[in-house]
Structure formats: structure tokens, C-alpha cells
């Protein structure tokens, strides 16, 4: 594992460099916006990465809460399976299918919903015990960073193209701002809480925040239909060449995000182990069996 | 009078309990068994972990590692058998004694005033007092707090520093009350700095240092260096 | 289930009795609400034509401020003398305590609204151009939305440093969909330009989702040390 990190770092740097090259040089100039639009290759992948990380935070937090008792863990497992089954079937049922907004395929909706149990089981399997909480913390922190990039690049893009810094009805930018606020408050709670159960409290807040996100979308969406506003970022289809570069850029961002998360994860893991060892240090020293072997079940890599 | 286990049967098991607060370990692996119907005094310097241990047994603190079982159940499950009292009064200052106890009686699904009056009389206070508990003297307030703790006739009483800031006379009265309860079959734990107050009354003195139990004696005097009873 | 409601009611009655006996918070809150309205009146010209469009927002911001000050007091009484420990150590269900606090806060904020609304109506010469009855579900559902999450986060903030600032910090972002619905709904009714129907449904959904989430997770929060 220790060799993988430097190799991956080099690959990531190369990918990011190439993505930049593609974004600035290779990508065709936009017919309407000229060269200014190129910021999209940073703006959109940041957004997708942030959302992915917040999604992981939700799954990890829900899992952490579920793990607090055997009964709740079993219940959570069945709920996850239920969501998966529902996700596969529901979008194809005529009643639901008619409600899906135009432009979205039922298969896309199904895939998104099925991702919930998939991620849940993956995360529960590979992150035992305290590591699940560290995953939640890491994904929130790195997610906030990417979210900040989105919020900074958004107005920078909007100003030269649409003449305004911000449009309150812009559903994507506004809901991103709300998500940023929610996850920053999550991080503040983590920092300021002096409770022994900080991890559980933060997990509860994360679940609340995640439940809030669809409601945020709904409220802004409806508000916008009643108060037509300029839409920043445009919609509609994209030139396939641009799409390719966008996707590659996203891949580079994902690699970068993964590296940062991994480092942060390991740092937090080590910090907690040090704290535990520190706490258990016997002042008198000697014969008491103090558990100095690596806690948190870390194998020696 | 409730029927509890005969004295000599261990009813509280503390197994390898560790309690960490970040970098600080309040309890560093405490294991002990406590018998029913006995009066245990828990002693030690500040920071020894006495209060943390008591709160862990009461279910108010969750052990980071290890577990506590009371009559074979977790503290949360055994809560009807536990009565807890601390140095703060755990009472509402603006309500009278009876009003306070009536409310707490509801938490234990006890109907009617009879048990409330009984508890208040058991601690030698007058149920008909109408002034707010906040206006009581410290000694009276501690006794009312004790009444609240015994309201539901628990088998085990956990008291954290019940004699602090209380005048000597009231403190002795309380010790007398507790002795009576022990004689009636209750198991009693008292965390205190004032070991001598319990000399001759407590059945056992449990000494704690740096998050561990270091000694258990039958008398309030401990003949080792470095500890002040 | 029966005992849950009985205990909730008993706790609520106890809280009201205690509040009545001390009366500090109540008087301070009433006066504070009055001041908020007056400040708004001086800041936003009531005679201007556009005022009808923004009054919805003003009213709810005023309610939000008042609610936060009230919410910060929610658990203060249980912390004095560590009474909360007595509750935690008893077999009483955590949700009875939570519901009692939410209902208490709800009643309290509604009383404050009852004071502030006539003042707004007078100062801003308010008249609803749309169906005025819709303001009632908007007010009730909106207040519940603020109060249910507010009570939950107030409990969460108990074990944090800077407790008073933690509550609004946690509450505001999560309340945004509810605030949008409340403000836009109120404006819709006052101006008569749109229907508030969707917003009422959204508020109802919000209330159901977060009341359920709070009831599910409150026990964890209560027993946090």
C-alpha cells in the first residue's frame, strides 16, 4: 500500500496537467460564451466530486448510527435492500415514470437510487468500527473544499457571461450554497463539541443534512418557477468533444480527491491512535497490561 | 420493604471498564464486583475517577471499553433498581418538594401522592412545605434530593458527594438515614472525600487512584504512603 | 403509547408552571419581540409600494430571531441543578421529554407571533389579497418546522462550547427549505400573485420528515455526555 500512494500521486498530477491542457487548448471555443466557458472544466467536476463525497458522508454517518446496536444494524440492512429493490422497480412503474421530469431516463433514476445500498454495503464492509466515523469526517472535509471551489468558480463564470454575480433562483448554485452551509456546520459541530459522543451527534446532523438536500432542491425549484430568473451555467446538450474533456477532467478530480481523502484518513487514524495510547499511558508505568498494540484494528502495512 | 438479594451475592459487575475523554483516561481498566446489601464508600483524590465510575454504573456515562452489569442487565435496563443522587440537587428550585416528587414519580409510573409523602418523611422532612426547594438550606436540599432518589424504592443507591458543603449535623443525619437503608436491604455506594464520616458505617472502602481501584479495605484508614483519606 | 402522551403532557404542564413562576424569560421575550418589529419598521419603509412584497420575509425573519432566543432557553432549566440527569437515569422515554419541549416551544413562539403579527399588520397596513386563511397553516407548519429542529439542535448544542451560537449555526442551513416555503407562501398570500398551495405541502413534508428524524435520534442526543 505504501508504494501505491506515490505512484498514484504521479498519475494524478499527470492527469490533472493533461486535463488542464485539454481544457485550455484542446477544447473547442464555445459558440456563445467564447473562451470564458472553459471554467466549466473545473466548476462542474468539482461539483460532481463534492456531491459524491457528501453522499459518502451520508452513507457513512447513517451506517455509524446503525452500528450503535445490533437491532438497528439489522434494520438498516433491510432498509438498504428495500431501497435497492424499490429503486430498480419504481422508475419503470407507469405511475412513477410519468412523474420523472423530462430529460431524465428511468434507468438513470434507478441507477442513482440503487447506488445507495451499493455504497452502504461497501462502506460497512470495508470500514469497521471507528473507521466509519473517520470516513464520514474525511469525506465532509474534502467535500467542503470542493464545494468551495464550485461556489467560487460559479460567480467568476457568471459575471462576464451573464452580467451578474449571483441569481437566487439558480437552483444549482443556490442549493450548492445551502449544502456548503450544512456541511460547514457539521464540521463546526465536530470541532466545538466537547461531548464523548461527538461522533454520534455529528452523524445525526449529517443524516439531517442529507434529508434536507432534496427539500432544498424542491423549494428552490418551485420558487424559480414562480419567479423566472436567469439560469447560470445553461442547460441542454453539450458538444461530445466538450463532454469527453469534462469527463476526463472529472476523472482527474476524482483521483485527486481520492488521494487527499486517503491522506486525511490516515492522518486522522494515526491521531486517534496516538490519543488512545496517550490516554492509556500508565503514570506509574510497569506491570499493568496497557494495550499498546495498535488499536482500531489496523494491520501493520 | 423490598426483597433484594441476600448480602454476599455480587450484584454489580464492572468488567475492564475504560473511559477516555480524548487524551485523558478517567478510568483505565477497572474491574470489580460489588455485593448486595452492603455499604460501599468510594474514595480517592480529585481526578481519581470516582465520579466517572459512579456515573458509569448509573448509566449516565458510557464506557469506552468494557461493560457494567447490574443484576445481569445493563444500567439502562436496570434503571428501575437504581437511585442516583449528586452534589447538585437534581430538583427544580421553583417547585415545592411534593411538586418535584410528584413529577419524578410520573417518570417511574408511580401514581398518587402516597409514595411521595412516604419518601419525604423517610428523610425527615415535611411534605406539606410549600416553598420552593431553591429556598431550602443546603442540608434540607440534599435530603430532598435523597427523597427523590429513593422515591421508587430502588435496590441500589448511588450517591456522588452527598455531604459536600453540608453542615456536620446534617451530614451525620444523612449518614444515619443511609445506614438505615442499608440495614433495610439496599445496596449503597457513596463517593466522598470524607472517609471518616463513614467510618464504622460503611462495610467497605474502595480506594481509587488515577483511574484504577488500588485497594479495598474494611476501615477508613489506609496505611500506604501518598494517599490522603 | 398512552404513557408516552401522559408523560409528555405532565412534562409540558410542569414546564408551563415553572415558566409562569419565574416569568423572566417570558417578559424578556415579549419585549424583545416588540423591539424586533420596531427595528424592522424603521429599516423598511412601510409606506413604500414594494413593502407588500417583502413583508413576508420581514415577518418570518422576526419570528426566526424570536424563536432562536426562545430555543436557547429550552434546556436551561434542565441544566440548572443537573435535573436532566434525573430524567436520564429514570425509565421515562426520551421522546416524551422531546415532545414536551417542542410543544412548549411551539406554544411559546405562537404566543410571540400573536403579539408581533398585529404590530406588523398595523405598521405595514397589511391586507391579504389572496386567501387569508392559508396564512394559518403556513404559520403553524412553519413554526413547527423551526421549533422541532430548533429543540433538537438545542439539545445537541448542550455539549458544545459557545452553546448559544451553535444553535443558530446548526439550525439555519437546515431550515432553509422551510424558510423559503414560509416566506414565499406568505408573500404569495399577501400579494395574491401566486398560489401558496405547493409551499403548504412542502412545509407539511418537511415537518413529517424532520419530526420523524428527531424522534428517531433524540435518545442518542439526550444520552450524549
| A208, C216 contact by CB (below 8 A) | no
List of chain C residues whose C-beta atoms are within 8 Å of the C-beta of residue A200: 220, 224
pLDDT at A294: 43
Contact C159 A193 (CB under 8 A): yes
* Distance in angstroms (rounded) separating the CA atoms of residues B80 and B74: 12
Smallest CA–CA distance, residue A115 to chain C, in Å, is 22
Query: Is the separation of the CB atoms in B174 and B163 below 8 Å?
Result: yes
Range from A224-238, A282-296, C195-209 carrying the lowest mean pLDDT: A282-296
> What's the average model confidence in pLDDT over B71-93?
93
Length in residues, chain A: 301
Q: Do B109 and C3 touch (CB under 8 A)?
A: yes
> Which pLDDT value is given to residue A229?
66
Q: Of A253, A273, A17, A13, which Cα lies nearest the Cα of A142?
A: A253
**Percent of chain A that is helix, strand, coil (3-state, to 5):** 75, 0, 25
**The pairing of beta strand B187-191 with beta strand B156-160:** parallel
Instruction: Output C56 or A141, whichever has higher pLDDT.
Output: A141
Give B135's contacts in chain C (Cβ within 8 Å). Answer: none
The string of pLDDT tens digits covering residues C26-44 is 788 888 888 988 998 888 8
Domain ranges of chain C: 2-222
Q: What is the mean pLDDT of residues C84-92?
A: 95
Residue B23 per-residue DSSP state: T
pTM: 0.90
User: Cell numbers at residue C209, please?
Assistant: 420528515
Q: Is C54 helix (H, G, I), strand (E, B) or coil?
A: helix
ipTM: 0.90
pLDDT tens profile C177-198: 999 999 999 999 988 888 899 9
The rounded distance, in Å, linking the Cα atoms of A269 and A299 is 12
C54, C50, C52, C204: which is closest to C134 by C-alpha?
C204
Arithmetic mean of pLDDT, A164-178: 85
Grid cell 415577518 in the structure block, residue = C59
CB within 8 A of B52, min separation 6: which ones?
A: B19, B26, B27, B61, B211
Chain C interface, best mutation among B64, B75, B81, B92, by max C CB count within 10 A: B92
Domains and their CATH numbers in chain B: 10-217 (3.40.50.300)
Judged against a pLDDT cut of 60, whether residue C141 lies above it is answered with yes
Q: CB pairs below 8 Å between A and C: how many?
A: 100
For chain A, say whether C223 makes contact (Cβ under 8 Å).
Answer: yes
Answer whether A284 touches B (CB < 8 Å).
Answer: yes
Amino acid at each position: 500500500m505504501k508504494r501505491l500512494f506515490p505512484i498514484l500521486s504521479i498519475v494524478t498530477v499527470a492527469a490533472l496537467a493533461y486535463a488542464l491542457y485539454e481544457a485550455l487548448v484542446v477544447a473547442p471555443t464555445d459558440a456563445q460564451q467564447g473562451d470564458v466557458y472553459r471554467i466549466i472544466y473545473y466548476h462542474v467536476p468539482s461539483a460532481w466530486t463534492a456531491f459524491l463525497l457528501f453522499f459518502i458522508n451520508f452513507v457513512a454517518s447513517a451506517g455509524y448510527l446503525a452500528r450503535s446496536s445490533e437491532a438497528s444494524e439489522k434494520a438498516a440492512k433491510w432498509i438498504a435492500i428495500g431501497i435497492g429493490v424499490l429503486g430498480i422497480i419504481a422508475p419503470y412503474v407507469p405511475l412513477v415514470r410519468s412523474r420523472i421530469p423530462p430529460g431524465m431516463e428511468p434507468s438513470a433514476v434507478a441507477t442513482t437510487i440503487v447506488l445507495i445500498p451499493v455504497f452502504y454495503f461497501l462502506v460497512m464492509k470495508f470500514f469497521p468500527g471507528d473507521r466509519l466515523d473517520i470516513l464520514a469526517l474525511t469525506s465532509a472535509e474534502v467535500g467542503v473544499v470542493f464545494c468551495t471551489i464550485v461556489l467560487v468558480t460559479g460567480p467568476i463564470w457568471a459575471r462576464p457571461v451573464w452580467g451578474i454575480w449571483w441569481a437566487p433562483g439558480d437552483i444549482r448554485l443556490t442549493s450548492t450554497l445551502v449544502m456548503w452551509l450544512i456541511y460547514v456546520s457539521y464540521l463546526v459541530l465536530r470541532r466545538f463539541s466537547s461531548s464523548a459522543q461527538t461522533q454520534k451527534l455529528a452523524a445525526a446532523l449529517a443524516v439531517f443534512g442529507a434529508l434536507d438536500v432534496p427539500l432544498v432542491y424542491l423549494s428552490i425549484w418551485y420558487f424559480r418557477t414562480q419567479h423566472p430568473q436567469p439560469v447560470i451555467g445553461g442547460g441542454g446538450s453539450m458538444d461530445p468533444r466538450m463532454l469527453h474533456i469534462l469527463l476526463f477532467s472529472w476523472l482527474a478530480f476524482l483521483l485527486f480527491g481520492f488521494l487527499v481523502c486517503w491522506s486525511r484518513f490516515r492522518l486522522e487514524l494515526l491521531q486517534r491512535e496516538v490519543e488512545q495510547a496517550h490516554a492509556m499511558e500508565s503514570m506509574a508505568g510497569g506491570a499493568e497490561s496497557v494495550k499498546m498494540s495498535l488499536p482500531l484494528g489496523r494491520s501493520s502495512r | 420493604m423490598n426483597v433484594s438479594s441476600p448480602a454476599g451475592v455480587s450484584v454489580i459487575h464492572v468488567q475492564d471498564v475504560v473511559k477516555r475523554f480524548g487524551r485523558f483516561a478517567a478510568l483505565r481498566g477497572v474491574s470489580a464486583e460489588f455485593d448486595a446489601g452492603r455499604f460501599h464508600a468510594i474514595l480517592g483524590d480529585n481526578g481519581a475517577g470516582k465520579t466517572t465510575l459512579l456515573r458509569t454504573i448509573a448509566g449516565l456515562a458510557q464506557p469506552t471499553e468494557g461493560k457494567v452489569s447490574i443484576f445481569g442487565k445493563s444500567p439502562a435496563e436496570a434503571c428501575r433498581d437504581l437511585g442516583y443522587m449528586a452534589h447538585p440537587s437534581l430538583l427544580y428550585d421553583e417547585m415545592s418538594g411534593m411538586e418535584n416528587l410528584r413529577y419524578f414519580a410520573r417518570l417511574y409510573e408511580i401514581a398518587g401522592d402516597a409514595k411521595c409523602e412516604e419518601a419525604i418523611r423517610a428523610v425527615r422532612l415535611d411534605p406539606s412545605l410549600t416553598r420552593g426547594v431553591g429556598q431550602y438550606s443546603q442540608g434540607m436540599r440534599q435530603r430532598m434530593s435523597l427523597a427523590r432518589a429513593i422515591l421508587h424504592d430502588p435496590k441500589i443507591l448511588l450517591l456522588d458527594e452527598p455531604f459536600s458543603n453540608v453542615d456536620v449535623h446534617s451530614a451525620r443525619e444523612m449518614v444515619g438515614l443511609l445506614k438505615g437503608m442499608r440495614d433495610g436491604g439496599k445496596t449503597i455506594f457513596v463517593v466522598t472525600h470524607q472517609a471518616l464520616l463513614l467510618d464504622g458505617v460503611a462495610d467497605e472502602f474502595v480506594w481509587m487512584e488515577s483511574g484504577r481501584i488500588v485497594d479495598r479495605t474494611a476501615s477508613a484508614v489506609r496505611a500506604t504512603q501518598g494517599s490522603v483519606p | 403509547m398512552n404513557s408516552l402522551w401522559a408523560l409528555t403532557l405532565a412534562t409540558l404542564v410542569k414546564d408551563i408552571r415553572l415558566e409562569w413562576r419565574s416569568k423572566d424569560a417570558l417578559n424578556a421575550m415579549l419585549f424583545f419581540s416588540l423591539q424586533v418589529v420596531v427595528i424592522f419598521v424603521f429599516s423598511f419603509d412601510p409606506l413604500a409600494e414594494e413593502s407588500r412584497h417583502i413583508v413576508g420575509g420581514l415577518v418570518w425573519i422576526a419570528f426566526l430571531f424570536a424563536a432562536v432566543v426562545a430555543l436557547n432557553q429550552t434546556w436551561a432549566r434542565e441544566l440548572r441543578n443537573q435535573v436532566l440527569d434525573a430524567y436520564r437515569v429514570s425509565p421515562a422515554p426520551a421522546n416524551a421529554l422531546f415532545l414536551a419541549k417542542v410543544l412548549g416551544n411551539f406554544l411559546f413562539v405562537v404566543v410571540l407571533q400573536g403579539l408581533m403579527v398585529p404590530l406588523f399588520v398595523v405598521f405595514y397596513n397589511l391586507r391579504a389579497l389572496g386567501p387569508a386563511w392559508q396564512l394559518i397553516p403556513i404559520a403553524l407548519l412553519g413554526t413547527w418546522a423551526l421549533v422541532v429542529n430548533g429543540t433538537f439542535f438545542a439539545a445537541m448544542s448542550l455539549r458544545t462550547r459557545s452553546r448559544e451560537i451553535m444553535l443558530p449555526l446548526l439550525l439555519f442551513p437546515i431550515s432553509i427549505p422551510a424558510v423559503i416555503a414560509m416566506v414565499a407562501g406568505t408573500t404569495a398570500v399577501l400579494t395574491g400573485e401566486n398560489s401558496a398551495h405547493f409551499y403548504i405541502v412542502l412545509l407539511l413534508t418537511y415537518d413529517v420528515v424532520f419530526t420523524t428524524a428527531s424522534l428517531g435520534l433524540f435518545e442518542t442526543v439526550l444520552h450524549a455526555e
